[in-house]
Structure 1
Amino acid sequence: MILIVDDHPENIFSLQKLLELNHYSVDTASSGEEALRKILKNTYFLVILDVQMPGMDGFEVAEAISGYSKSKDIPIIFLSAVNLEKRFIAKGYTSGGMDYVTKPFDPEILLLKVGTFYRLHLQTRELHAAQEKLREEVAERKAAQEALSHSLEELRSILESIQQIAFTLNREGNIEFVNRYWHEYAEGRENLPATPEDGPSISACIAKAMASGEQEVLEVRIKPLSGEEYRHHLLSMTPVRKDGAIAKWVGIFTDIHEQKMINQLLENRVSERTQELQRANRDLAASNHELQQFAYVASHDLKEPLRKIQVFGNLIHGKFGSEQQEAVKYLGKIISSADRMNKLITDVLDYSKLSIAEKFHLADLNIIIREILDDMELLIREKNAEITVSPIPQVKAVPGQMRQVFQNILSNALKFSRHDLQPQIHIRAERVGRLATDARPDADGPYCRISVSDNGIGFDEVYLDKIFVIFQRLHGRNEYEGTGIGLAIVKKIIDTHGGLITAVSEEGKGSTFILVLPVSGHHA
């Protein structure tokens, strides 16, 4: 199970749905304290942790998780949209994180990371099971040795029958007995198996066990006589007591070479995959920046030749239009297409500019909407529209972007009005206690919910997600003008402000667009 820790419900919801759609079991926590309580009660194979939270931040939570014996091995992925500097990323790793992902993140890359940690979790669990089984075997053999300590011949019979290298020492440390597997690693009973120069020798291990007087389990590498490779073994030195004194020692070598190699391979794969993911993240960030720059520069450069097309088209139309009626028809199409192209380029420029960070200020949305209505006075009079605006609380936002939001929504409300009905548009606002479109009103709530309702043509809610996608249109260009970018700009602005936007509509009965914005600005 994966634990998502984030103090923003919308972040938890989107990430939870992404993981659940990919068949992962997910648990959530909205604070560091709640996360620590859940970690003590439940078992998780991965923690996805937001860096900036009230109370305990992500780094403090990670350090606390690493301090618990139960959770110290749980991998942690940090998520951050603010702390992007190298020192914060370094702090994420030093505080116990296995990865540091910046927002906005690529869902596919994140799923690859989660899948990698899930496979490592399964492999680690299998390795632990193997180690536990090995410990159980060692314990069983120890019990058998103690039970048979009163009979030397019976003890030797048992040691001869087991599949590991076994030997016995007297109380002075001299070898008394070796089983048949001993001779695969040593020439004669008097010689000890060979060990590498950079590792502990068998004689040193025996001396350490005899000095402690207790059972010792030590890792050594010994080389078979028929090979050149040193193999990893666990050497168990167990004292056999008689009348409270050590009578002899029983030594057993257990081959763990394959398990050791698997563990090293896993560690190497984790390191390689981490480096690959870091490189992919860097490449993705650079690619996104280049794409934004390209969209901005390309759109900006296209406006100049397009402006010339419009100017010279109008000149030709004015100078020769009366002489060539057929040419007037074609020039009209050229000028109309150039106008649409100009609108499209302008919208693309506006959309690309949204990726450039701007400062938040205390914005009076009442003034912004009043100015928009003044600019749209001729269209409102032409449509004979009735527009009512209730008082709206001030919010911390980017004023220019807020103007774009309401400009697009109000323009659509007038554009998609019914021909047989006077357009009526109502704008209402209230404070709410949480970031949700259905939150209860709260006079002191940290969020502001704004609804813009009209009695226009409406749309089928089946297409709700489609209307916020760039270049997506529900109506043909011949029916209603537009580029299909307006609501995509609105959605991106609201997301940038840490808010939510949705719509409620029915064909022929109008639409209501619902926006929820943080009153004090977006800090996640």
Structure 2
Amino acid sequence: MILLVDDKSENLIALRKTLESRGFEIDTALSGEEALKKVLKTDYQLIILDVQMPGMDGFEVAEAISGFSKTRDIPIIFLSAVNVSKKFITKGYEAGGRDYLVKPFDTDILVLKIRTFIKLHEQTTELNTIQQSLLKEIAQRKQAESKKDEFIGIASHELNTPLTSVKGYLQLAERQLEKDQVDQAKMFIGRSKAQVEKLNHLVSDLLNATRIETGKLNYKYTEFELEPFIGHAVDSVLQSYPDVQINTDVNGSVKIYGDETRLEQVLVNFLTNAVKYAPESNNVWLTARLLPGDLVEVRVRDEGIGIPKEKQPYIFDKFYRVEDNHNQFQGLGMGLYICSEIIKHHGGEYGLESEPGSGSTFYFRIPLKAVQ
């Protein structure tokens, strides 16, 4: 739900009607005092706040909201038709605002910003919940203290990178709007949405890992064809990496009984890693074949940096990331751990073959009639 705060009822009515027509749930307040009472009783995803109001002005309201632990993470967008100088815009950000729009504004741009900030707020809330769960779990295994510190450092870095990009792109979009460059503003907002999607993938990995630990990762078993399954995974990766050549060799038209979505998640992860860990190559090889004993094997080979023998036993461990002295790669060290748990759930096996400097091959084998 979004809270609109303005001392002029006609402004509230107009903006409420516009946003409700776009599918948003809206609540309103006619003063800063009323707004503070509401935010303490109701959970809001976003607050749109007028600057100039009698009694408490918008800046004072924002500072008060930011001072409460329950409400400090709620994104605030300032709207003003009067206080439009740089001094007031700066004051808005200092008071805790995420954005400052000057009336009249482009409705489409406002809607895009609202959706972006709401998604970020939802992911921040999820991340806080996950972090608390992980910290509690790690505290019960004293031997994992070093892993906890390492993970928090990695998570903070990986999650802050797209967040920082989003903030930068939105600021650039705001400057373009001030120049009436709407197309340029939309471009920057589009880029910020791409960064939000990266953040969404990171949060999804955290959620899946937590669900695995609590036994709440859901599976839906159906019968599906091997060849289209391979094709869907390849197409998904090529959308993000259009310059990569994925050479496929599918031997055997067979049906598999398993969770197609979860298994595709495994294959996409293997393919994405093959691209990521082979930055100087555009070729990946994927083979799928039927093995004796009603097993299907899928192998993904790259021409990347390879993995030293001493590191290979830990590759599928939670939080483990492969690094070398020349390359640093993004990620939380969750992906292969999640893959291993999905394959285990299908009664299968997984592994890798690798030599430093000679690339790597990741594979999994599952029975055609996997037992739930």
**Please, what TM-score do these two structures have when normalized by structure 1?**
0.34
Q: Which has the greater radius of gyration?
A: 1
**Please, what TM-score do these two structures have when normalized by structure 2?**
0.46
